[in-house]
Amino acid sequence: VTEIALAGGTVVTSLDPPAVVSGDVLVKDGRITGVGTAPEGMARRDCSGCLIIPGNVCAHTHLYSSMARGMPYRLEPPTSFLQILQRVWWRLDRALDESSIRASALLGGMEALLSGTTTVVDHHASPNAIDGSLDIVADALEELGIRSILCYEVTERDGYERALAGLEENRRFLTRRQRVPFGRPALTRGMVGAHASFTLSDETLKACAEVAREQRTGVHVHVAEDAADERDAHARSGVGAAERLLGAGVPPADSLFAHCVHVDAPAAALLREAGVTVAHNARSNMNNRVGRAPVRSLGPRVALGTDGIGAGMFAESRAAYFRLREEDASVGAAWALERLASGARFAGPAFGEPGLGRIEPGGPADAVVLEYSPPVPLSAESFSGHWIFGLGARHVRDVLVAGEVVVQDRRVTRVDQGKVLAEAMTEATALWERLDDLPAHPFEPGGGA
Ligand SMILES: [Zn+2]
């Protein structure tokens, strides 16, 4: 079906500012053609008693961690951020092979769709399976029908050779994927991935920035997530991590800086002025006890990510809101919606889709049908309250990406849900076993732990 009307629902056409109308959402050839009354004879999906919202964007995640829940790591429990990397994530990524990368991407992508997320901005690492890894992730996500912006994490923690291989993987993938394939919308785009200032030399950082510029994209990188990254940047270059990255020539307007917990006030102002989008990951920051990001001083380009804690943006935006309210009661519920809209404003241009994140004529038909009959009045004014205090992934009934129904009646439509889960179980069991043989990663940042 290239034409469908989501009929009879209440439609949230924009999150920032919230706009709510009643009408049928008309979809043709992947695009929204109108919100109004479906013409006679148009295929329709009954959405009465439902709320239709723009698809959610997760602005920073790691699909490779999809199978890490409950993973035993059989080493002393980590007590600092660096130990969490050394004992958990930098062991997991080394244990990944091609089949576990694919299983992770299918599982994470499927769970994202089922929670109402239609675009994921992913940051991938698999130091023992670098070449072609982004294609494995892309193929899995395209099978599911979810939109994504992918990158490979360049890092020197596993040596210079692997940093170069990582950079080459980004370049190879970008060269192939940035072109729009003829006759169908491209659901996958690329960026240049970099781990963080503290695992990268000036030379490699500059090379990342160069590939990004050459490919007309930005760098997706962790910035000042922990104080150790700031200290290391000062020890290496005399400035903080954010300044160091911009100084290396990272294109600001196309780049995505995840976390920015430890940026100081001048660096926050610099990021704001330069137009860098910041991916705020509230739950991950709390879980790793890295500190609180100065989200209000980072300005309007703060988007929300999960950092691998699923890709459900109802849960993430709610946690981010409560976390911020705890320190600042002047924050309103609309703040969460503004942050989600920022994620769409970042992701849209990568697809040549400035309308991503809204339900408007001409824009891509990325929409979520929520089985939510408001028990109290729902309007533009009250919508943010419904979002924080009423709505959740449990309400997701259908999901459209580029006009295609990829979740229908709470099941993904393009892959066998049971098969994805069974494949994940097999792969996770083997992955967890491989992990047992791996010691903690020895890499240490400079500047003192
Ligand atoms: Zn991350």
pLDDT per residue as tens digits for the range 115-131: 999 999 999 999 999 99
Centre of ligand 1 to C-alpha 223, Å, is 9
Centre of ligand 1 to C-alpha 290, Å, is 13
Centre of ligand 1 to C-alpha 84, Å, is 12
- Of 225, 217, 275, 226, whose CA–CA distance to 246 is shortest? 275
Centre of ligand 1 to C-alpha 35, Å, is 37
Q: What's residue 182's pLDDT?
A: 52
Give me Rg for the CA atoms of the chain. 21
Cis omega (within 30 of 0) for bond into 364: no
Centre of ligand 1 to C-alpha 296, Å, is 20
Centre of ligand 1 to C-alpha 123, Å, is 7
Cα–Cα distances (Å) from 198 to 201, 213, 280, in that order, read 8, 22, 19
Q: What's residue 178's pLDDT?
A: 62
Centre of ligand 1 to C-alpha 12, Å, is 30
Centre of ligand 1 to C-alpha 407, Å, is 27
Q: What's residue 127's pLDDT?
A: 98
Q: How many angstroms separate the CA atoms of 389 and 407, rounded?
A: 24
> 59: which DSSP letter?
E
Q: How many angstroms separate the CA atoms of 292 and 261, rounded?
A: 6
Is the pTM higher than 0.85?
yes
Q: How many angstroms separate the CA atoms of 130 and 151, rounded?
A: 11
Mention every residue, 6+ apart, whose C-beta is less than 8 A from residue 298.
260, 263, 268, 271, 272, 278, 280
Map residue 421 onto helix, strand or coil: helix
CA angle 203, 207, 208 (to 5 degrees): 120
Centre of ligand 1 to C-alpha 352, Å, is 25
Residue 434 CB coordination number (10 Å): 16
Centre of ligand 1 to C-alpha 144, Å, is 23
pLDDT per residue as tens digits for the range 381-424: 999 999 999 999 999 999 999 999 999 999 999 999 999 999 99
Centre of ligand 1 to C-alpha 198, Å, is 14
Instruction: Provide the pairing of β-strand 44-46 with 51-54.
Output: unpaired
Element (H, E) at 194: strand 192-196
Structure tokens at 339: 């942050």
Q: How many angstroms separate the CA atoms of 262 and 126, rounded?
A: 27
Beta bridge partners of 117: 56
- Residues 390, 394, 397, 403, Cα dihedral to 10°: 80
> 308 near 65, Cβ under 8 Å?
yes
Centre of ligand 1 to C-alpha 327, Å, is 24
Centre of ligand 1 to C-alpha 121, Å, is 10
Centre of ligand 1 to C-alpha 47, Å, is 36
Q: What's residue 176's pLDDT?
A: 87
Map residue 247 onto helix, strand or coil: helix
Q: What's residue 74's pLDDT?
A: 87
Centre of ligand 1 to C-alpha 285, Å, is 10
Instruction: Provide the pairing of β-strand 302-304 with 44-46.
Output: unpaired
> 204 near 211, Cβ under 8 Å?
no
Centre of ligand 1 to C-alpha 259, Å, is 8
Residue 99's Cβ-count burial label (10 Å; 0-12, 13-18, 19+) is middle
> 226: which DSSP letter?
S
> 443 near 199, Cβ under 8 Å?
yes
Residue 245's Cβ-count burial label (10 Å; 0-12, 13-18, 19+) is buried
Centre of ligand 1 to C-alpha 268, Å, is 19
- Of 320, 359, 315, 368, whose CA–CA distance to 56 is shortest? 368
Structure tokens at 415: 């892959």
Residues of the chain with pLDDT under 50: 183, 449
Centre of ligand 1 to C-alpha 62, Å, is 6
> 340 near 313, Cβ under 8 Å?
yes
